[in-house]
Structure 1
Amino acid sequence: MNTRKKIIVIGGSAAGPKAAARARRMDEFAEITMFQKGPDLSMASCGFPYYVGGFFDDRNKLLCTPTGVVRDPNFYWNAKGIVCKINTEVTKIDRAKKQIEYKDLLTGETGTQEYDKLVIATGATANMPPIPGIELDGITTLQSMQDADYLRKIRDEKKIQKAVVIGGGLIGIETLEALHLAGIELTMIELLPQLLTFLDWKMAKLVENYLKSKANVVTKNGVAQFIGEDGKLTGVKLQNGTEIPCELAVVAIGVRPRVDLAKAAGLEIGQLGGILVNQYMQTSDPDIYAAGDCCEIPNLITGKNVLAPYGDLANLEGRAAGENIIKGNVATFPGTIQTGVCKIFDYGVGITGLSEAKAIDADIDYVKAVNASPDKPGFMEGKLLFTKLIAEKKTGRILGAQCLGPGDVSKQLAIWATAIKGKLTVDDMVNADLPYAPPFSLAIDHSIATAHILQNKMHGLFDGISSLDLKTMLDSGEDLYILDVRGADEYEQTRLGVGETLIPLGVLRKRINELPADKNKTIVTYCKISLRGYEAAMLIKAHGYTNVKVMEGGIAGWPFEKEK
């Protein structure tokens, strides 16, 4: 009697192969078959923009093991004993018969196969706007290996002069960089008021200001029509009537879970459109599991379901599903804090946990702080980082961090992601025992300094004001005394231009009598990154002034136009 478990995995990108490989490690004798609609397996899809941009030239590097072996059907059979049917679409899941129906897309041959346990890892599909001209040649996404091949060919041939990228999210911005490296004149178009909507507005504005040095950036405006001649794209028309000539348009307006199979099989689908799973990655059918971009998973901070189409999470979910289909429900994937990072030319940009906007949506009483400081000492060519840290007001529990700049963003996000997962507080982080040496960090790491700032605010030692709030107060005509405590040479190079007064910190004690006579007048201090601004505020308060604020992030974090 054959007692081998029959395992079927639908999907061969990230979650599917991980589930199949984990299942094999748990059971050497299970019959495991993986179906993949496309021709490639285990594609490193997050690497597509870097292949397009020419960071490397061998497309097989997107399909290889760490030792350089291409993950094709022969590899999976020889190395793992897994049967892989590529170019084969699963067309139906028959839960009553516990079998699937499939079709070979090259030969047209159809067939059925039985399963004991099934894993759905069908991923997500790119959103395409339902607007006139969408069918024109020259309009693409960057969702598949074939998309990457198409854009890489455009880069290599160097025939296209102008392109637009529609959508200012992670993929859109990474695609923009890839095409910029090809020497193409670029315009980024975003319907919403800001790029990277997972960031709060000020942080996103800093990214936008930087990005404008590389490409044209249009926000608060969408594409109304694609314009073409002889079936080929020649331009886009925006909602405000502006026409932008281009020969290529990359649509990057997000993805949606691919759930047609699951839905047709009667599996439960969540409000966000993803397959509903429990902590074991088990669907509403106990013999069917799901993993990756096709699923909804819980946010560990808010408890609400989210869509989190990230390759790292897909692998973790697939690992849990693969173990559970063999061993029973022993492995868990509890959810996500939605950590994400991307490279934007010389900047890193990312977030972990909640943004301020998400904290407000979740009705959480929070405190926040912004730190602008280097990642390493100046003598080790330290580079600037901006971090916005958010914590629960009552407990000090870390809720979220956003970080950007030319410094080591990934390290900072890793620290804060670990703190959030560990439910650490601001007080825990002010004395974090992190590795220190000048080539790697400051004596007080940027993350610890950020915790110091927030702790000072929570203890009433630091009264901060964001640049956005300050600009709002200035625009409303509020009577403020704005004090720049940088050096005269810094002031000559760039300034806010909002009627500020320059008194360098080194002479502030001698010139304290030049401050307003009214000790209750609102005074806002700042410097380049507001470390000197903080010291100035402490000094001024010691002289009896009662309403002294520090502009967080300093002039380096001012997202509006400056005087030069």
Structure 2
Amino acid sequence: MAQKYVVIGGSAAGPKVASKIRRLDEQAEIIMIQKGKYLSMASCGYPYFVGGVFDDPGALIATPTGVARDPQFFSKVKNITALIETEAMSIDRTGKKLLVKNIPTGKEEEISYDKLVIATGASPVVPPIPGIDLDGIHTLQSMEDAVTLKDLVVSKKAKKAVIVGGGLIGIETCEAFQLAGIDTTVIEMQDQILPFLDWEMAKLVENHMCSKGVSVITGKGVTKFLGENGKLKGVEISSGEVISCDNAVISIGVKPNSSLALNAGLKVGDSKGIQVNRFMQTSDPFIYAAGDCTEVTNLITHNKQHFPMGDAANLQGRVVAQNVVRGNSEEYNGVIGTGICKVFDFTAGSTGLSQKIAEREGFQNIITAVHAAPDKPGFMGASPLIIKLIAAKSTGRFLGMQAVGTGDVSKRVAMAAMALHGRLCISEMVNLDLPYAPPFSPAIDNFIAAVHLLENKWQHQMNGISPVELKAKIDSGKAPFILDLRGPDEFEQMELGIGEVLIPLGALRSNLSKLPQNKDAEIVTYCKISLRGYEASCILRAHGYTNVSVLEGGIAAWPYPRKK
């Protein structure tokens, strides 16, 4: 007898489950339930639609050949019954029935199932702030949201906008608005934007945003939305300051849509995501779940977490389909936490743990390294790339990587993600065989060069100091002797202004008398990217200096204001 599969959710994981089931079982009856009007939406593309990268919203629900993925498409091409504008109301686990309601008509009906898949996604977190119901306050979670914001851009109705939240969607929406000529301010309650980065890396991205005309306010939250005649006129932040605006986008995160599962008695975790085992099976053996409504295992910390990412949802959907059709034959072990976003000319990406998260999770004796360099030879049109690596000092196990800049961040994040999945340590990464040709990378790729820097620190061949650590020393009145190894022409163009002494690397050996004569004095060396800084540290150590550190990343990674 043909099996009957019912899938609740038609965004990312749901259509993947249904389509894969059909490929595995031509005889199965498959029904997909979607609360909204649209199916299989490329929701990660919403900010780019708003920003004018493309103008046809139909592209967000189209196949690569341009065919709309609507109920007719699923029926004719995949023999899947797709019920849109239909809400799943309750699950009768004993009778293996699902109660659904047609939203336009209000008509209810029961649908039986042999196996049920819950892929209900997530909803934006909307805080209970006074004035939240004013006209002009939006989210960006649905096709309808995207079309509304696109209309604001095209019609030029919006003049000044506030983005509440500095995460991925908030930053991408900010770019869309700013490029459209809308005066945009990002307000983030935490002390930094993009929480998957460490502070100094996020600050580099923030500086780039500010150079594009965006105002960024961190460390302050929105306490009130201010309006007039029901329309938004501004926001008040925790400092008491009022930021005028005519539109705002709430982007402070999402929460799993797990109430249907919870009401059916299925287990839900601390993140409020549906608990699943390694087969994506819920606490009911006949019900599986996938996508943003679930919680999954972090493969580094082994903790459960909510990880609402489109790629993970699709991968989980494929695993679910395999297991509901063929029995629990394929595992989804978890995630390492990989993400990336475009920020004007910058890209920011990460994988694994940041230093901040690693320390919070109890990892002891963390070692880090920040490396800055062009992403390819200069004669091939190089762009800057700044990488931060995190590892366990005792074992050398690789824990995480972040990268920002105008260079090719994506490729390096992918390399690091594979290293994390392979549970590699520093010594296993220093000689990785990667593709090389001048149009694509330096002879030693940026990722490997960053690993070499990390190994030098791990093996005590180099002492590094971060910009945050050096700034703290300067601010406390305990500034070390700071040595700039660049040439006079470079110094004339760009100067940190932190009390540095300029001695070009080529003149260092003949100018040792200008350095502190106490060989135990603290000295910090740097250049544009601190390659010359590292070479200078080797020279000084060879001449008996015992307390020499290299400013990691050099000027390129300096997140604070410069003298010029």
Alignment TM class, shorter chain as reference: over 0.9
| 1:2-401 matched pairs, under 5 angstroms | 3-214=1-212, 215-364=214-363, 365-401=365-401
Residue identity opposite 1:520 in structure 2: D
Give distance in 2, aligned partners of 1:106 and 1:363. 51
Q: CA deviation at 1:479?
A: 4.7
Q: CA deviation at 1:233?
A: 0.9
For 2:479 and 2:57, locate their aligned partners in 1 and report how far apart those are by CA, in whole Å. Answer: 60
Name the SS for the 2:171 alignment partner: helix
User: 2: CA distance between counterparts of 1:160 and 1:349?
Assistant: 27
Shift of 1:516: 0.7
Which stretch shifts more, 340-349 or 242-251?
Answer: 242-251
- Secondary structure of the equivalent of 1:206? helix
Q: For residue 518 of structure 2, what is the amino acid of its counterpart?
A: D
State how far apart, in whole Å, the 2-side matches of 1:525 and 1:213 are.
28
Q: Does 1:418 align with 2:418?
A: yes
Could you tell me the percent identity over the aligned residues?
Answer: 56
1:475 corresponds to which residue? 475
Worse-superposed segment, 233-242 or 80-89:
233-242
Matched residue count: 562
Secondary structure of the corresponding residue to residue 331 of structure 2: coil
Give the corresponding residue for 1:489: 489
2:463 match: 463
**Could you list the runs of 5+ residues in structure 2 that have no partner in the other structure?**
none
- Range with bigger deviation, 416-425 or 46-55: 416-425
Q: Structure 2: how far apart are the matches of 1:297 and 1:332?
A: 12
User: The residue matched to 1:244 in structure 2 has which SS?
Assistant: strand
2:157, 2:273 → 1: CA distance?
Answer: 40
Q: CA deviation at 1:95?
A: 0.6
Aligned equivalents of 2:187, 2:359: Cα separation in 1? 27
Instruction: Quote how far apart the aligned CAs of 1:362 are.
Output: 2.3
Normalised to the residue count of structure 1, the TM-score between the two structures is 0.99
SS at match of 1:275: coil
Please list the CA deviations of residues 341-376 of structure 1 after superposition, one character each: whole Å capped at 9, or x if unmatched: 000000000110011011112222321111000111
Question: Could you say what secondary structure the match of 2:509 adopts?
Answer: coil
CA deviation profile, 1:433-464 (whole Å, cap 9, x unmatched): 11111111111111111111111111111110
How big is the alpha-carbon RMSD for the aligned residues of Structure 1 and Structure 2? 0.9
Aligned residue type for 1:266: G
* Aligned equivalents of 2:34, 2:361: Cα separation in 1: 39
Residue 394 (structure 1) shift: 2.5
Q: Secondary structure at the match of 2:192?
A: coil
After superposition, residues 528-547 of structure 1 pair within 5 angstroms as: 528-547=528-547
Letter in 2 for 1:136: L
Q: Distance in 2 between matches of 1:233 and 1:327?
A: 54
**Bigger shift: residues 274-283 or 485-494:** 485-494
For 1:250, what is the secondary structure of its paired residue?
strand
Which digits, 9 at most, give the CA deviation of each residue in 1:154-204, with x for residues without a partner? 111012211111100000000001111211011111111111111111111
- Give CA-to-partner distance per residue, 1:207-253, whole Å, 9 cap, x none: 11111112111111111111111211111111211111111100000
Distance 1:374 1:443 in 2: 12
- CA shift for structure 1 position 322: 1.1
How many Å separate the matches in 1 of 2:22 and 2:460? 57
Cα distance in 1 for partners of 2:55, 2:204 equals: 32
Residue in 1 aligned with 2:429? Answer: 429
Tell me which amino acid in the other structure corresponds to 1:492. E
Q: Where do 5+ consecutive residues of structure 1 fail to align?
A: none
- Residue 494 of structure 1 and its aligned partner are, at CA, apart by 1.9
Q: Distance in 2 between matches of 1:250 and 1:491?
A: 42
**How far off is 1:25 after superposition?**
1.2
In structure 2, how many angstroms separate the alpha carbons of the residues matched to 1:452 and 1:7? 52
Q: CA deviation at 1:28?
A: 0.8
Q: CA deviation at 1:397?
A: 2.0
AA paired with 1:44? A
Report how far residue 537 of structure 1 moved. Answer: 0.4
Letter in 1 for 2:376: K
Amino acid of the residue matched to residue 466 of structure 1?
Answer: S
Q: Distance in 2 between matches of 1:188 and 1:362?
A: 29
SS class of match (1:471): helix
